Amino acid sequence: MTGVVRRATPDDAAAIAAIYAPIVADTWISFEEIPPTESQMRARIETVGGWFPFLCCEREGELAGYAYASRHRERAAYRWSIDVSAYVHERFRRGGVARRLYEALFEIVTRQGYYNAFAGITLPNEASVAFHRDLGFAEVGCYRNVGYKLGAWRDTLWLQRELRKPDARPEEPVSLQSLAF
């Protein structure tokens, strides 16, 4: 069982921050260097969750992981594309939690009217690269030596998943509030 996926709320901030903290502090997976506090994570949930989905997965009575979408770039013509991220608690990794979260996330953002999802993966991270490729992501490029963390320069591989075929005249993406979500 991969767990129940639901919309994250500000009350999930402590559990989400706890999942993310060791990734920030102990790995190069995230380019953040200081783990966000519970209040900072609460603000992120409130900010992202207004327009983009911020989901969490509960399993065995606790928060097993979370995923969210965010704006791909600031310029207006990018508005049909999003960036996605997923993080899973160490105890629940390789149990289908990230897949379940991403599948739910892709369903929602497709209904909102988005066309492309992008994921940036700091290398090396073969497990994440394989996972994203298995979900239909294709490599679009690599930023070499783009970040310095834990004593070394790090590359970031960018992958893309097409959510829908491009329309000649795309409709504007819609907010979460306009969906039955």
25 occurs within a structural domain: yes
Domain for residue 172, yes or no?
no
Which stretches in the chain have pLDDT values below 70?
A: 1, 181
Identify the pLDDT of residue 48: 82
- pLDDT number for residue 1: 57
Q: Which amino acid is at 161?
A: R
pLDDT at site 180: 73
Residue 171, in any domain of the structure: no
The total domain count for the chain is 1
Q: What per-residue confidence (pLDDT) applies to 178?
A: 86
Task: Tell me, yes or no, whether 170 lies in a domain.
Answer: no
Range of the domain at 118: 4-165
Q: What is the per-residue burial (b if ≥16 Cβ within 10 Å, else e) of 139-163?
A: eeeeeeeeeebeeeebebbebbbeb
Within a domain: 117 = yes
Q: Is residue 179 part of a domain?
A: no
Is residue 139 within 8 Å of residue 159, measured between CB atoms?
yes
Note the pTM of the prediction, 2 decimals.
0.95
We report the CATH number of the domain holding residue 40 as: 3.40.630.30
| The pLDDT value given to residue 4 | 95
The 10s digit of each residue's pLDDT in 33-43 is 999 999 999 99
Does residue 139 lie within any of the structural domains? Answer: yes
pLDDT of 181 reads 64
Q: pLDDT at position 126, please?
A: 96
